[in-house]
Chains A and B, each alone.
Chain A
Amino acid sequence: MRELMAFEWRVLRRERTLWLVLAVFLGLGAHASASGARFTGERRAAIAELTTEQRARLDSIAALMPQLDAGTVSVPSFLDPRMPAIAGRGAAAQYAILPPGPLAALSIGQADVQPFWAQVTTRTKQTFFVNDEIENPARLLAGRLDVAFVILVVFPLLVLALTFDVVAGERERGTLALVLAQPVEPRRVLGAKVGLRALLVAGMAIALSIGAAVATGLPVSDAQTVLRLIAWSGVVLLYGAFWFSVALFVNARRLSAAASAVALLGAWLLVVVVLPALAAAAISVTHPVPSRIVLTTQLREATDAAAERRQDAVATFILDHPGAVSDSGALSDPLVQAVALQDAAERTMAPHYAAFDAALDAQRRAAERFRLLSPALVVQGALLDLSGSGEHRFRHYEQQFDRYHQAWRETFTARMLRRERLNPASLAALPDWTFVEEDWDTLGARLAPGVLMLLGLVLAIGVPGWRALDRAARTA
C-alpha cells in the first residue's frame, strides 16, 4: 500500500494543479495569519493603553483625596472625586474590557463590528457601547481575509481541485485499463489514490489550524488555548472530510472530468453560497434586527416623562431605598435628584430593554437553528464560537456587563444617599471588572448538534460514495 501511495505521489507531484493549489493555499494562509495577528495585536495594545490610563487615573485620585481632606488642595465641587456621584459618573469609573478571544487571531468574525470595551459609570446603559474602533466602512464591507475565511470558502475549493478527477482522469487518458490489468487488486490502487489525497487534505487542515496558530503567536502553552485549538482542528478536519466525501460521491458518478468539476462546483455553490443565503434571508425575515433607533426615541420619551414628574420620581426613589437616606439634605441635592430621575427613566425603559434583549436572543437562537441548513454555516458557527469572535461570547460579555453595571450603580447610589465621602480605602474596595469566559459545557452544548450533523453527513455521503467509487473503478 505504501508503495502504491508513493507511486501515486510521483504522478501527482508532476501535476501543475497540485503545486498551484499548495501555493495559493500557503499564500492565503500566510496573509490571513498576518492579518489576524495584526488585528489582535492592535486590540491588545488598545487594551493595555486603557488599563494604564485607568491605573494612573485611580492612583491620582487616591493621591488627591487626602490632600482634599487636609485642605491643602481644593477643586470645584463638581470635580471632587470624594463625592460618590462624581466618582461614580466618571472619575473612578472602570473599563469593562472584553479581551480578544482565545483563538482570536484565527478568526476576526464579528469582532470588528462589536465594541470591546466600555467605561462603566452610573449613567444609563445606552451611553456605553459607543466605542467603536475606527475602521473604514468599505473595509468592513469587503470582509476580512482571516484564517476562518480561508477555511470556510477557499479550503473546499482546494479539496475539490485535488479530488475532482481521481478516476475520471485515468479513464479519459485511457490509463485506467492499464492499471486494472496490473496484478494488484483495483481496490488497493483506488485506496492508494484516495488515501494519498485524504492525507493531503488532512495535512492542509492541520496546517491551517496549528500552523496558523503558531504563525499568529497564540499562547500554545496555555491549556485553554490548546483545548480549543484541538477542537478547532477537529472541526476543520471534519469539514475537509465532508468535502472529501462529496468529491468521492461525485467521482463515483462516472462523469467526465469537466462534468465532475462542474458538479462539484455546483455543490460548493450550494453549500457555501446558496444555502447560507437562504438561511440568512430566513433569519432576517423571521427575526429582524431590533431597532436601536426606536430604543433611542423610547429612552428620550422616558427621560422627558421622568423630568416632567420630578416630584414623583424623587418620591419613588426614596421609597425604593428605605433607610438609606441619612438626612433630608440628600433630597435637595441636585446630584441625588439626577440619579432619581435616571432611575425613573430606567424603570420605564426596563421592559423596552428586556424586549430588545429578548428579540436579540431569539434572533440568535433562530440563527443557530438555520445554521444547520448548510455545513459551511455549521463550521462557521463552530469556528467563531471556538475562537470567541462570534455573537455568543459577546452576549456573554454583555450579560456580565449588565450585572457589573447594576452592582456599580447600587454601590454608588447607596454611598451617595448616605452622603459618604470616598477615601483611598473605599476606592480600592469598589467592584472590579473581570471577564469570565464561557464554560465548556455551554460551548459544547452549542457546538454538538452541528458537529454531529456534519459527522452524520460525512458517513452518509462518504461511505456509499466510497463503495460506488470502488465499483466504478473496476470498469475502464
Chain B
Amino acid sequence: MLRTIASKEYRELLRDGRFRWAGSIVAGLLLVAGLAGFTAWREQAAQRDAAQATMQATWFNQPSKNPHSAAHYGLWAFKPQMTLAFVDRGVDPYTGTASWLEAHRMNEFRFRPAMDATAAQRFGEWTAAGVLQQLIPLLIILLGFSAFAGERERGTLRQLASLGVPTATLLRGKALGVTAALAVLCVPAAVLGTVVVTMSSGASGLLRLGALSAVYLAYFGVILTVTLVVSARARSARAALVTLLALWAANGLLVPRVAADVAQAAFPTPTAREFQAQVQRGLATGIDGHSPSGARADALRDSVLRANGVSSVASLPFNYDGFSMQRGEEHANEVYAHYFGQLWDRFGQQDRAQLVGAVVAPVIAVRFLSMGIAGTDFGQHRAFAEQAEAYRQEFNRVMNNEIRDRARADESFSYQADSTLWRSIPAFTYEAPSLGRALATHTVSLVALGAWLVLAALLVGRERRIEVA
C-alpha cells in the first residue's frame, strides 16, 4: 500500500512539467553555486598558502637586527578555509581574512572580501548552502502543496478514503513519493560533493560532509512535513500554496533579518570608537581602573630592585628593558584578551538571541549548524584569531627574553640577534577545532532543529483524519 502511494506520487511529480522545470532550475543553480564556490575556494586557498609561506620566509630571513625591531616587523597570519567552505562560506566574507601580528598590540582582522565585491554580487550570489537553505524548501513546497489539497479539489481524496486507506499511510506514502522525487536532485549533488571532498580533504572532510548532509536532511524533513500538513488542512490548493509561500518568505527572507536586528538591539555591540577607547583605557590604567601605568612601572622597578638587592637597574643580573617590556606585553595581552573576549562573547550572545527566531524560522538554526560544520562560523574564526594571538604573544616573549638574557644594560635597543633566533620560533600553523568542538558551540541550534523534527513527527502522528471535501 505504502509503496503504491509513494510510487504514484513520485511518477506524477516526475511527469509534471512544473517539477521538471523547477527541479532543473534548482539543480542548475546548485551546480553553478557549487562550481563557482569551489573555483573561488581553490584559488583563495592557493593564494593564501603562497602568501603565508612568503610571510613566514620574510620573518625567518630577517637580517641581523634588534629583537624588538623584529617584533615590530612582525608578520601576517592569513585565515585558511576547510574544503567544505566551498559549500558554505558562512561569515568568512564578513570577517577579515588577515591579521597583522606585531609588538604591543593585538590587531583586528582586516580585508573583508565583501568590501571589495559588488552590491550585485551580495544581492545575487548564492552559495550551495544558500540554495539548500532557501531554494530546495521552495521546491519542496512546489512538489507538495497540492498533495492533499489538489486531490481534494479533484474529488479523488474522497475515493481514496472510501477505499479504507489509513490517513497515516497516505501521509507517509505521499511524503515518501516527494522524497523520492527530491532524491533525483539531491543524491547526485551529494555524490558530487563526496567526490570533491574526498579528493581534496580525505576522511575528516567526509565526516563533516556526513554531518552536513544529516542537518540538511533533517531540515528538508521538517519542511516536507509542514508542507504536507498544510496541504492536508488547507481549503484549496491555492490557499495551501499561499500559506506555504508566506511561511517560506518568513523563514528565508524576513525572520532571519528581523532576528538579527532584534539581537543587536537586545545585546548591543560597542561602536568601533567606543571599543578602541575601552582598550586604550585598559592599556593605560589596567583592567581594574586603579593602576595607572606610570605608577605601575615604578612599582615594578622598585620591587625588582628590592628582590635582587641592588639599587639601580644597571646592576641587575639581566637586562631590565627586556624584562619590563615583557611585563608590558603581558599586561597588554590581558587587556586585549579581556576586551576582545568580551566583544566576541557578545557576538555569541547575539547569535543565541537570533536563535529565538528559529521558533518560526528553522533556517536560522540550520544556518548556524551548516557554518559550524563547514568551519566558517564565528566560533572557528575566533579559534583562528586566538591561535594567531597566542603565536604573536609567543614571538614577542621570545624576543623580549632574548634582550633580557643576552643584552647588556646599555644595549637594550642596539643588541643584534640573527636568524637563529627568528628560526627558533616554529612557523605558525592553525589547528582547526574538531567537528565535536565546533558543534558544541551550536547546541542551541541542534536543540532547535531537533525540536522542529519532534514537532514534525507529532504533527504527522496527529493527522488521523483528513477532511475529504
Contacts and interface: CB of A to CB of B under 8 A. Distances in A.
Interface of A: 17, 28, 31, 35, 42, 45-46, 49-50, 109-110, 113-115, 130-145, 149, 152-154, 157, 161, 257-258, 261-262, 265-266, 269, 273-281, 283-285, 288-294, 296-297, 300-301, 304, 308, 360, 363-364, 367, 370-371, 374, 376-377, 380-381, 384, 390-391
A31 to B, nearest CB: 7
12 contacts: A31-B261, A132-B108, A141-B90, A261-B241, A262-B142, A269-B25, A277-B124, A279-B124, A281-B33, A292-B111, A296-B111, A360-B116
A134 B54 contact: no
Given A145-B261, A289-B117, A300-B55, 19 more contacts: A31-B258, A35-B261, A115-B115, A132-B110, A132-B112, A133-B271, A135-B269, A136-B260, A136-B263, A139-B260, A145-B257, A157-B249, A273-B29, A277-B125, A290-B116, A293-B48, A293-B98, A391-B118, A391-B119
A377 B118 contact: no
B119 A390 contact: yes
Contact of B33 (A143, A277, A371): A277
Identify the 8 closest CB pairs spanning chains A and B, nearest first: A276-B124, A280-B124, A137-B91, A137-B94, A145-B257, A140-B94, A280-B125, A367-B118
B362 interface: no
Given A133-B271, A280-B121, A265 B108 contact: no
B119 A380 contact: yes
B256 A140 contact: no
Contacts of A46: 271-273
B32 A134 contact: no
A446 to B, nearest CB: 13
A104 B142 CA distance: 38
B229 interface: no
A138 B445 CA distance: 14
A141 B256 CA distance: 10
A50 B273 CA distance: 9
B94 A141 contact: yes
A335 B402 CA distance: 28
Contacts of B156: none
A43 to B, nearest CB: 10
Contacts of A261: 238, 241-242
A398 to B, nearest CB: 11
Contacts of A300: 54-55, 58, 76
Contacts of B50: 297
A45 B253 CA distance: 30
Nearest to B134: A273
Contacts of B114: 110, 113, 140
Given A46-B271, A49-B273, A364-B118, A138 B123 contact: no
Given A290-B116, A367-B121, A136 B347 contact: yes
Given A278-B32, A293-B98, A136 B125 contact: no
A443 B94 CA distance: 28
A134 to B, nearest CB: 5
Contacts of A273: 29, 126, 135
B260 A281 contact: no
Contact of A370 (B120, B245, B272): B120
A266 B123 CA distance: 18
Contact of A138 (B25, B54, B63, B350): B350
B184 interface: no
A136 B350 contact: yes
A350 B223 CA distance: 54
Contacts, number: 215
B224 interface: no
Contact of B55 (A140, A265, A297, A377): A297
A135 B112 CA distance: 12
Contact of A130 (B40, B51, B110): B110
Interface in B336-351: 343, 347, 350-351
A284 B350 contact: no
B253 A154 contact: yes
A278 B25 CA distance: 11
Given A262-B18, A293-B98, A380 B123 contact: yes
B270 interface: yes
A280 B273 contact: no
A274 B29 contact: yes
Interface-central residue, A115, A277, A278, A281, by most chain B CB under 10 Å? A277
Given A277-B32, A293-B51, A137 B264 contact: no
B397 to A, nearest CB: 23
B121 A283 contact: yes
Contacts of B121: 280, 283-284, 367
Contacts of B118: 283, 363-364, 367, 391
B105 to A, nearest CB: 12
B76 A296 contact: yes
A154 B111 CA distance: 32
A187 to B, nearest CB: 27
Interface string B46-79: 0110110011001000010000000000001010
Contacts of A296: 51, 76, 98, 111
A223 to B, nearest CB: 26
Nearest to A143: B257
A377 B124 contact: yes
Contacts of B32: 277-278, 281
Contacts of B36: 281, 284-285
Contacts of A266: 21-22
A377 B257 contact: no
B400 interface: no
Contacts of A371: 120
Interface-central residue, B22, B63, B261, B263, by most chain A CB under 10 Å? B261
